[in-house]
């Protein structure tokens, strides 16, 4: 059994990790930390876990995380980078669900996240945890940077086109929408029901923290810098991301066949039949990205629709997928969840 620690178990990604790992046949939850809730039974805070998890939250200072095989950081940005070195030195593998190790250029990271990086020497070692691109590197990694939610949906949508050089990478457009859980489990005015309900708005148009992450990933795939316009939106729903992606084709290609062949062996990417329109509710609670590709009026613009659950394939589910790869397990262990409907 893999002994698992979770740092930051009271947020949405934390409880989603606990939910998935509680039924994982090779996982043993040994520590779930929270300074504020030290001593509180996990199932008291999250009654949905009654009968599944009998641990109590523990203060990180007292949790023996060095005895774990892997530690997940489901924490705000800046926490993992202050603790990762000590864990790695103790032989513990680390999966960071925040952004501390996603961006390779330290100056770029510090610009977008507004703080000095505590362990820049680990950034080069960290493997970006998008399995559909970096599976073999993940397998041998000590430190995995779990991708963000928007970056997962956008990169998986653009990947086959950029990989084959079939579009103008200088003019990519990603129009993406997210449910309010993407903002985290904290009290903020913009996520109150009376503020977010019956409302729809764009935000971060001038620049969003996920922009450099997406640009880096697509640039690595293209082998050169890309030009990306990324506009996120907040929608009045709890879970889900829907990304509508636009690119200009520079070659005539069977788009449906291209996507079907690229993702034929990917267990968590579902290419829908031609003419389909993926819905966020079709992925709710599951570690799957559903994609449809269109060529409106047979023109030179390709439109890709990509839908994920931001808390699962966009966060905790992908983290468990990465753990499975790191420990040479079946990639789908603990992730055989049928999406919830309605």
What whole-number distance in Å separates Cα of residue 229 and Cα of residue 165? Answer: 18
CA angle 251–157–340, rounded 5-degree value: 145
Q: In what order do the strands lie in the sheet with 172-178?
A: 201-202, 228-234, 172-178, 241-248, 301-308, 289-294, 269-271
User: Is the separation of the CB atoms in 109 and 118 below 8 Å?
Assistant: no
Q: Please tell me which residue in 122, 149, 174, 211 is annotated as part of the active site.
A: 149
Q: For residue 28, what are the CA distances in angstroms to 45, 52, 57?
A: 20, 12, 15
68 in active site: no
Q: Which residues are catalytic?
A: 149
């Amino acid at each position: 059994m893999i002994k698992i620690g979770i740092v930051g178990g009271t947020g949405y990604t934390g409880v989603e990790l606990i939910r998935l790992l509680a039924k994982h046949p090779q996982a043993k939850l040994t520590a779930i930390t929270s300074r504020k809730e030290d001593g509180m039974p996990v199932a008291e805070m999250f009654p949905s876990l009654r009968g599944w998890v009998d641990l109590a939250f523990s203060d990180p200072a007292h949790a023996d995380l060095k005895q774990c095989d892997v530690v997940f950081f489901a924490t705000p940005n800046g926490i993992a980078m202050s603790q990762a070195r000590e864990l790695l030195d103790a032989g513990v593998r680390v999966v960071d669900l925040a952004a501390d190790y996603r961006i390779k250029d330290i100056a770029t990271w510090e610009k977008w996240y507004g703080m000095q990086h505590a362990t820049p020497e680990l950034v080069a070692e960290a493997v970006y945890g998008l399995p559909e691109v970096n599976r073999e590197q993940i397998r041998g990694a000590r430190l995995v940077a779990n991708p963000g939610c928007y970056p997962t949906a956008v990169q998986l949508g653009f990947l086959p086109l950029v990989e084959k050089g079939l579009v103008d990478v200088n003019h990519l457009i990603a129009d993406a929408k997210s449910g309010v859980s993407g903002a985290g489990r904290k009290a903020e005015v913009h996520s109150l029901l009376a503020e977010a309900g019956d409302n729809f708005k764009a935000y971060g148009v001038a620049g969003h923290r996920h922009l450099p992450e997406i640009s880096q990933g697509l640039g690595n795939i293209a082998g050169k810098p890309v030009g990306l316009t990324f506009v996120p939106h907040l929608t009045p729903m709890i879970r889900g991301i829907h990304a509508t992606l636009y690119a200009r084709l520079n070659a005539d290609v069977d788009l449906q066949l291209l996507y079907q062949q690229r993702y034929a062996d990917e267990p968590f990417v579902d290419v829908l039949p031609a003419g389909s329109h993926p819905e966020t509710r079709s992925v709710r609670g599951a570690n799957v990205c559903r994609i449809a590709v269109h060529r409106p009026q047979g023109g030179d613009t390709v439109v890709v629709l990509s839908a994920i659950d931001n808390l699962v394939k966009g966060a905790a589910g992908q983290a468990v997928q990465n753990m499975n790869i790191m420990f040479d397990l079946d990639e789908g262990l603990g992730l055989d969840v049928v999406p919830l409907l309605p």
